[in-house]
Amino acid sequence: MPFVFKSKKISADTEKETKIHPAGAWKNYSKVRRINAEQCRNQIGNKIIDVENISLSYENKAVVNNLSFQVYQGDYFCIVGENGSGKTTLLDALLGLKKPDCGKIDLLDSLKRNDIGFLPQHTEVQRDFPATVFEIVMSGCIGRHSKGPFLSKNDRQTAFTNMEKLGITSLSSRSYRELSGGQQQRVLLARALCSATRVLMLDEPVTGLDPKAASDMYSLVHDINKKEGITIIMISHDISSVLKYASHVLCLDRSKYFFGPVENFIKYRDKACEKQYGDDALYGNSDAYKFGGTDIN
Amino acid sequence: MNNLFIFLTVKQNVFSKLSEYFSFSFVRYAFIVAILISLCSALLGVSLVLKRYSMIGDGLSHVAFGAGAVSAVVGVAGMTLTLPVTVVTAIFLLKSGGRKKIMGDAAIAMLSAGALAMGYLLLNITNTSSSNLSGDVCTSLFGSTSILTLSRSDVNLCFVLCAAVILFFVLCYNRMFSLTFDERFAGATGINVGLYNLLTAIITATVIVVGMKLAGALLISALIIFPPMAAMRICKSYRSVILTSALISVFCAFTGLILAVLYETPVGASIVCVNLCALIFFSLLGFLKKKIRNTEI
């Protein structure tokens, strides 16, 4: 199992690791962490993304420092944190849109960039964009295997399959700007699925949706994760749904990070709330690693 | 009956007049160049309008006027100076277009007015011979007759540039769609966003510099903006917007040029006015279409 392998390596090489990590992240890797991580991962897949000591900056301002975490095939991985804590920058780095200042991001187990689907946030341009649903879903096939200028029959088939999966086949020739927010988000999800064979990354997928559409969206993503085994990496502000669906949580804050299975995140959060005053205080200064999370800095 | 007879003679007069005009090579050149430029400007316009870059197109044409004035003063012929200066400005403007903080609409307005003022001042200061200065300025601002004074080499250059632009839009149709709709997603699917933005900037500058011959510095942005806007009134899909906008643009340029030749009106202004009529017509059509659909539901 890759997980145990990693742990062995740590014990053998603690000195070296600690040098790279001044805060000694791996040293704090307790037994609890390992047991919990294995318990909650119902089907243990291979490690597919390994992020090691990366630092990122946004417009010359450092937002993420010395962060490490791993993603396994089949995970439902949520990234939470305050505005400006570098969630979107981190996602850009994972997508290969941005180079980390230092550290490295490894795609393992023959995962390729082409296997990763992406659902970005809405942009202002899209609100009144004259394009049919089919055209938009098709655009997900560009760049995947089509090096040529035109799309093939195969791509059309992929687009149709994904539209069917999300129940938007009947909207296929409708204009995107006429659709409701929930339908638009389904279209963008279908487009993302055209390029997602193994991993799907979502950037705040329920922003601006009404509660019904939001819960529909969550259950769709949950189905994709469970039925198709596609790994989900999602940025979210909605803590209640993170707790409901996620298998792993990465919590970014300006000063400290939490990474671990969702059970541990609940404890981490409770502790944080105790220290702070009220339910809104999610990100306090607690000793995260005591609960099995990797607490860096 | 009498009225009909008069109408027929007038019509015959128009046709004989036209065929007489068409026997001149410069008139044929003018029509060929007008059609090519209008086709390019329409194809480019769809992307610019949808990305909210219309003002950048307008600003660029003023810069091109300034550069044209400088090259007239220095004594460099044709586009040798105007084109590179405009291309550099276009790259600069489109690159920083994403960061609205730095290059907002105020900055573009300043650039426009600055370039215009500088160009006119330069022309005035260096105007030693008592030639018709205001006529020259008027020509480069409104393109009054310069389209009818094209030489064979001008036509060839226009032809090559326009063919390159059209070829680019045909070959990169799918990628341009993806980029226009969602730049971040396009980047994540492996499309080289920077390269395509650079090419768009170069094409924008080229179309504006070449198009200034047809409509002049102040009116060329109308050729870029009117046809897509008119097409978007009635079209639902991106493909139909592109095709309709190209058709509208070519039709308006052709009609405007015929009117200008027949009634000896300024070419650029005539074409823009026909475009304006087309926009009003398509707006009405779009309004009626909406009405009909609403009553059907």
Cross-chain CB nearest to B188 (options A118, A123, A149): A118
Q: Comparing A135-144, A219-228, A274-283, B253-262, which segment has the lowest mean pLDDT?
A: A274-283
**What architecture (CATH level 2) is domain A2-111+198-210+228-296?**
3-Layer(aba) Sandwich (3.40)
pLDDT of residue A25: 39
Give the B window 151-170 contacts with A, CB below 8 Å. 170
Q: B158: alpha, beta or left, given left = phi > 0 and alpha = psi -120 to 50?
A: alpha
pLDDT of residue B240: 94
- Which DSSP string do the residues of B122-133 spell out, in sequence order? HHHHT--S---H
**Where in chain B are the domains?**
27-212+222-296
Cβ(B209)–Cβ(B82) below 8 Å: yes
In which band, very low, low, confident or very high, does the pLDDT at A201 lie, cut at 50, 70 and 90?
very high
Average pLDDT in the A30-41 region? 41
Residue type at B113?
A
CA-nearest of A53, A201, A142 to B192 is A142
Task: Give the nearest chain B residue to A89 (CA atoms).
Answer: B184
pLDDT of residue A121: 87
Cβ(B155)–Cβ(B207) below 8 Å: no
CA-nearest of A50, A77, A42 to A251 is A77
Cβ of A150 within 8 Å of Cβ of B188? The answer is: no
Average pLDDT in the B175-203 region? 89
pLDDT digits (tens, 9 = 90+) for B93-112: 877 655 554 556 788 888 88
pLDDT of residue A6: 39
Cross-chain CB nearest to A126 (options B174, B182, B237): B182
Structure tokens at B12: 């015959």
In which band, very low, low, confident or very high, does the pLDDT at A36 lie, cut at 50, 70 and 90?
very low
Cβ(B230)–Cβ(B286) below 8 Å: no
Q: Give the other-Cβ count within 10 Å of A4's Cβ.
A: 10
d(CA A148, CA A129): 25
Average pLDDT in the B7-34 region? 79
pLDDT of residue A144: 60
Cβ of A140 within 8 Å of Cβ of B189? The answer is: yes
Structure tokens at B205: 């500058």
pLDDT: which is higher, A235 or B26 = A235
Cβ(A162)–Cβ(A190) below 8 Å: yes
- Within chain A, which residue ranges are assigned CATH 3.40.50.300? 2-111+198-210+228-296
Interface mutation target, options B51, B229, B232, B237, chain A, most CBs of A under 10 Å? B237
d(CA A68, CA A28): 13
pLDDT: which is higher, A256 or A94 = A94
CA-nearest of B267, B245, B241, B264 to B254 is B267
- Select, from the ranges B62-66, B68-72, B190-194, the one with the highest average predicted confidence (pLDDT): B62-66
Structure tokens at A22: 């001044």
Cβ contacts (< 8 Å) between B187 and chain A: which residues?
A: 95, 97
Supply the DSSP symbol for B164: H
pLDDT: which is higher, A44 or A8 = A44
Distance (Å) from the alpha carbon of A175 to chain B's nearest alpha carbon = 5
d(CA A240, CA A19): 37
**Site of tokens 């006027």:** B65
B179 touches chain A (CB under 8 A): no
pLDDT of residue B6: 63
CA-nearest of A159, A148, A157, A205 to A182 is A205
Average pLDDT in the B78-98 region? 81
pLDDT digits (tens, 9 = 90+) for B228-254: 999 999 998 999 999 999 999 999 999
> Could you write out the three-class secondary structure of chain A?
CHHHHHHHHHHHCHHHHHHHCCCCCCCCCCHHHHHHHHHHCCCCCCEEEEEEEEEEEECCEEEEEEEEEEEECCCEEEEEECCCCCHHHHHHHHHCCCCCCEEEEEECCCCCHHHEEEECCCCHHHHHCCCEHHHHHHHHHECCCECCCCCCHHHHHHHHHHHHHCCCHHHCCCEHHHCCHHHHHHHHHHHHHHHCCCEEEEECCCCCCCHHHHHHHHHHHHHHHHHHCCEEEEECCCHHHHHHHCCEEEEECCCCEEEEEHHHHHHHHHHHHHHCCCCCCCCCCCCHHHHCCEEEC
Q: Which residues of A216-247 are buried (b: 16+ CB within 10 A; e: fewer)?
A: bbbebbeebbeeeebbbbbbbebbebbeebbb
Distance (Å) from the alpha carbon of A240 to chain B's nearest alpha carbon = 27
Residue type at B180?
T
Cross-chain CB nearest to B175 (options A113, A132, A142): A142
Supply the DSSP symbol for B80: T
The pLDDT of residue A10 is above 80: no
Cβ of B51 within 8 Å of Cβ of A125? The answer is: yes
Q: Comparing A14-23, A144-153, A164-173, A254-263, which segment has the lowest mean pLDDT?
A: A14-23
In which band, very low, low, confident or very high, does the pLDDT at B5 lie, cut at 50, 70 and 90?
low
d(CA A129, CA A118): 20
- Which DSSP string do the residues of B24-78 spell out, in sequence order? SHHHHHHHHHHHHHHHHHHHHHHHHHHTT-HHHHHHHHHHHHHHHHHHHHHT--T
Residue type at A73?
Q
pLDDT of residue B55: 85
The pLDDT of residue B217 is above 60: yes
Average pLDDT in the A47-68 region? 85
CA-nearest of A198, A193, A194 to A156 is A194
C-alpha dihedral (B180, B184, B188, B191), degrees to nearest 10: 30
pLDDT, mean over chain A: 76
- Cβ burial of A259 (10 Å; 0-12, 13-18, 19+) is buried
Cβ of A96 within 8 Å of Cβ of B188? The answer is: yes
Task: Give the nearest chain B residue to A152 (CA atoms).
Answer: B174
Compute the count of residue pairs across chains A and B with CB atoms less than 8 Å apart.
94
In which band, very low, low, confident or very high, does the pLDDT at A35 lie, cut at 50, 70 and 90?
very low
For residue A262, what are the contacts with CB-CB under 8 A and spacing of at least 6? Answer: A40, A78, A242, A243, A246, A247, A248, A249
The pLDDT of residue A8 is above 70: no
The values of phi and psi at residue B24, to 5°, are -85, 135
pLDDT digits (tens, 9 = 90+) for A124-137: 788 889 999 999 99
In which band, very low, low, confident or very high, does the pLDDT at B123 lie, cut at 50, 70 and 90?
confident
For residue A139, what are the contacts with CB-CB under 8 A and spacing of at least 6? Answer: A191, B174, B177, B178, B181, B182, B185, B186
Give the A window 68-107 contacts with B, CB below 8 Å. 95-97
pLDDT of residue A167: 87
CATH class of B27-212+222-296: mainly alpha
The pLDDT of residue A168 is above 80: yes
pLDDT of residue A195: 83
Residue type at A130?
P
Structure tokens at B152: 């064979």
pLDDT digits (tens, 9 = 90+) for A67-90: 888 888 888 999 988 887 888 888
pLDDT: which is higher, A108 or B175 = B175
The pLDDT of residue B68 is above 90: no
**Site of tokens 């590179």:** B84
The pLDDT of residue B8 is above 90: no
Cross-chain CB nearest to B181 (options A118, A136, A146): A136
Average pLDDT in the A26-36 region? 39
CA-nearest of B43, B33, B34 to B199 is B43
- B263 membership: H or E segment, kind and range: helix B238-263
Cβ contacts (< 8 Å) between B170 and chain A: which residues?
A: 149
The pLDDT of residue B187 is above 60: yes
pLDDT of residue B266: 86
